[in-house]
Amino acid sequence: MRRGGARPLPAEWALLAALAAWGVVPVIVMALHALHVHARLTGADGLIGADGVLGADQLQYLAWARDAGAHGLISDLFTLAPTAHVFLEPLSIVTGVLWRIGLSLQLAYLLWKPVAAVALFAAAFAWAHRLADGAGARAAVIALSLFLYTPLAWLFDWAQLGSGGFRFQLYLIGWELLPANKLWGYVPSALALALMPVALLAVERALEPPRGYSARPALVLASAAALFAALLHPWQGVTLILVLAGLAIWRAMRGWRTLAIPALAALLPLLYYEALARGDAAWKLASMNEVVARLPLLALLAGLGPPALIAAAGVRRPGEVVIERALLLWIAASFVTYFTVDAFPSHALQGLSLPFAVLAVRGWRRLRLPAALGVLAIVAVSVPGLAWDAQKLLQSAHSTTPQYYLTASDGRALDWVAERAPAGGVLAPTPFAIVVPSQTGRAVWVGHPYWSSDYFVRARTAGALFGDSMRPSRARAFVSATGASVLISDCAHRADLARTLAPMLVAVHRFGCASVYVIRRPGG
pLDDT digits (tens, 9 = 90+) for 101-136: 999 998 999 999 999 999 999 999 999 999 999 999
463: left (phi over 0), alpha (psi -120 to 50) or beta: alpha
Predicted local confidence at residue 34, as pLDDT: 67
Q: pLDDT tens digits for 186-229? A: 999 999 999 999 999 999 999 999 888 889 999 999 999 999 99
Residue 53 — very low, low, confident or very high, per pLDDT cuts 50/70/90? confident
Quick one: 345 and 472 in the same domain? no
Predicted local confidence at residue 43, as pLDDT: 45
Global pTM reads: 0.93
Q: Could you tell me whether strands 426-427 and 486-489 are parallel, antiparallel, or unpaired per DSSP bridges?
A: parallel
Which parts of 72-213 fold into alpha helices (H)? Answer: 90-100, 105-110, 112-131, 135-147, 151-158, 164-177, 187-207
Whether 379 maps to a domain, the answer reads yes
| Residue 137 identity | A
Predicted local confidence at residue 42, as pLDDT: 42
Calculate the average pLDDT of the chain. Answer: 91
Higher pLDDT, 117 or 394: 117
- Contact (Cβ atoms closer than 8 angstroms) between residue 430 and residue 59: no
Residue 399: pLDDT over 90: no
CA distances from 276 to 63, 69, 123, 236, 286 (A): 18, 20, 31, 18, 10
Residue 312: pLDDT over 50: yes
Predicted local confidence at residue 305, as pLDDT: 87
Predicted local confidence at residue 37, as pLDDT: 59
Quick one: 369 and 419 in the same domain? no
Quick one: 429 and 335 in the same domain? no
Quick one: 354 and 465 in the same domain? no
Q: pLDDT tens digits for 171-184? A: 999 999 999 999 99
Quick one: 505 and 455 in the same domain? yes
Predicted local confidence at residue 27, as pLDDT: 84
Choose the final residue of a domain: 367, 397, 427: 397
Predicted local confidence at residue 84, as pLDDT: 92
Handedness of CA 339, 344, 348, 349 (dihedral sign): positive
Quick one: 327 and 367 in the same domain? yes
Predicted local confidence at residue 5, as pLDDT: 57
At how many degrees (to 10) do helices 216-232 and 234-250 cross? 140
Whether 25 maps to a domain, the answer reads no
Torsion angle (degrees, nearest 10) of CA 325, 331, 336, 337: 110
Q: What is the mean pLDDT of residues 22-31?
A: 86
Whether the ω angle into residue 431 lies within 30 degrees of 0, i.e. cis, is yes
Torsion angle (degrees, nearest 10) of CA 240, 186, 145, 391: 150
Quick one: 466 and 376 in the same domain? no
- Reduce the DSSP state of residue 31 to 3 states and report it: helix
- Comparing C-alpha atoms, which of 403, 402, 243 is closest to residue 334? 243
Whether 337 maps to a domain, the answer reads yes
Quick one: 168 and 311 in the same domain? yes
Residue 517 φ then ψ, to 5°: -110, 125
- Contact (Cβ atoms closer than 8 angstroms) between residue 174 and residue 154: yes
Residue 508 φ then ψ, to 5°: -125, 130
Which parts of 37-89 fold into alpha helices (H)? Answer: 55-71
Predicted local confidence at residue 36, as pLDDT: 65
Residue 28: pLDDT over 90: no
- Contact (Cβ atoms closer than 8 angstroms) between residue 444 and residue 78: yes
Whether 198 maps to a domain, the answer reads yes
Choose the final residue of a domain: 348, 374, 397: 397
Higher pLDDT, 27 or 5: 27
| Residue 194 identity | A
Residue 45: pLDDT over 50: no
- Comparing C-alpha atoms, which of 468, 488, 404 is closest to residue 48? 404
Whether 180 maps to a domain, the answer reads yes
- Reduce the DSSP state of residue 73 to 3 states and report it: coil
Q: What is the mean pLDDT of residues 76-85?
A: 92
- Percent above pLDDT 90 for the chain: 75
Q: What is the mean pLDDT of residues 27-39?
A: 70
Sequence-separated contacts (24+) of 4-8 with Cβ below 8 Å: 4/126, 4/129, 4/130, 4/201, 6/129, 8/125
Choose the final residue of a domain: 397, 416, 443: 397
CB neighbour list of residue 471: distance below 8 Å, 6 or more residues apart? none
- Separation of CA 95 from chain center: 15
- Separation of CA 225 from chain center: 18
Quick one: 386 and 423 in the same domain? no
Q: pLDDT tens digits for 249-298? A: 999 999 999 999 999 999 999 999 999 999 999 999 998 888 888 999 99
Q: pLDDT tens digits for 319-348? A: 999 999 999 999 999 999 999 999 999 999
Predicted local confidence at residue 210, as pLDDT: 87
Residue 405 — very low, low, confident or very high, per pLDDT cuts 50/70/90? confident
Whether 381 maps to a domain, the answer reads yes
Q: Range of 457's domain? A: 408-519
Q: pLDDT tens digits for 480-523? A: 999 999 999 999 888 899 999 999 999 999 999 999 999 997 65
- Contact (Cβ atoms closer than 8 angstroms) between residue 106 and residue 42: yes
- Percent above pLDDT 70 for the chain: 95
Quick one: 388 and 414 in the same domain? no
Whether 122 maps to a domain, the answer reads yes
- Contact (Cβ atoms closer than 8 angstroms) between residue 199 and residue 226: yes
Residue 524 — very low, low, confident or very high, per pLDDT cuts 50/70/90? low
Quick one: 382 and 498 in the same domain? no
Domain count, the chain: 2
- Contact (Cβ atoms closer than 8 angstroms) between residue 206 and residue 110: no
What whole-number distance in Å separates Cα of residue 105 and Cα of residue 90?
A: 15
Residue 371 — very low, low, confident or very high, per pLDDT cuts 50/70/90? confident
Q: Could you tell me whether strands 505-511 and 426-427 are parallel, antiparallel, or unpaired per DSSP bridges?
A: unpaired
Higher pLDDT, 93 or 160: 93
What whole-number distance in Å separates Cα of residue 381 and Cα of residue 387?
A: 11
- Contact (Cβ atoms closer than 8 angstroms) between residue 468 and residue 497: yes
Geometric angle at alpha carbon 510, from 505 and 515, rounded to 5° = 65
- Separation of CA 418 from chain center: 27
Whether 3 maps to a domain, the answer reads no
- Contact (Cβ atoms closer than 8 angstroms) between residue 177 and residue 353: yes
CB neighbour list of residue 524: distance below 8 Å, 6 or more residues apart? 422, 485, 506
Quick one: 328 and 380 in the same domain? yes
